[in-house]
Amino acid sequence: MLTVHHLGKSQSERIVWLCEELELPYALKRYDRDPETMLAPPAFKALHPIGSAPVITDGEVVLAESGAIVDYIIGKYAAGRLVIGAGHPDFADYLYWYHFANGTLQPAMGRSMILSRLNLPADSPLRQAMQGRLERALGLVEARLAQADYLAGDEFTAADIMTVFSLTTMRYFMPVDLAPYPYIQAYLQRIAGREAYQRAMKKGDPDMTLLLT
């Protein structure tokens, strides 16, 4: 049985959502963060040497890293769903945005979060540089969504599942005002309307207010 080990308010929401989109049979095991440190509890850290979310178990397989897990589940269970093949005209866009999520957007959010917690002056060159990277990343997402309903094109794909966390739940850790990004806001409303997303968030983080605006 595929088991998703879900740490609250973490990238493992991607995996719960993926399973719901694919309507897979899976077990969900939830873990709460330490209320003071906001870190994973010891039971979660014991699952995998890296000690961070997400983690799945599937028989003898123990796998971390959200991108690797998404690829694993899609490759093993999706039967071609939520991906775009090499013969499709949107293939390159799918690949780009799938990897943009953890290659550019999430690191930009994470670096900005760390710098904000260091209480560096707002005019610090390092802080300004990281803020510029984040704004460029968000601006690129905004420009893409001005052209298409979803990141890979007209079709909802795993690229969207990889990206939405950074635009929503990650903002609990690194607040970002989405007012300058109307196409991102409209996109998040489309995501909010997906029944699989609604189910996933209710199962994984039932008490969390979703940051969809």
Note the pLDDT tens digit of each residue in 118-167: 887 778 888 888 888 999 999 999 999 999 999 999 999 999 999 999 99
Which domains, ranges and CATH numbers included, belong to the chain? Answer: 2-82 (3.40.30.10), 91-193 (1.20.1050.10)
**Residue of 141, 158, 156, 174 lying closest to 71 (CA atoms):** 158
- Would you call 150 helix, strand, or coil by DSSP? strand
Q: What is the largest CA-CA distance in the chain?
A: 52
pLDDT of residue 36: 78
pLDDT of residue 117: 84
Tokens of 149: 């309903």
**What is the chain's pLDDT, residue by residue, as a tens digit (213 residues)?**
899 999 889 999 999 999 999 999 999 999 888 787 777 888 888 888 888 889 999 999 999 999 999 999 999 999 999 999 999 999 999 999 999 999 999 999 999 888 888 887 778 888 888 888 999 999 999 999 999 999 999 999 999 999 999 999 999 999 999 999 999 999 999 999 999 999 999 999 999 999 999
φ and ψ at residue 192, rounded to 5 degrees: -60, -25
Q: Which region, left, alpha or beta, applies to residue 82 given φ > 0 means left and ψ of -120 to 50 means alpha?
A: left
User: In this structure, how many other beta carbons lie within 10 angstroms of the beta carbon of residue 6?
Assistant: 26
pLDDT of residue 135: 94
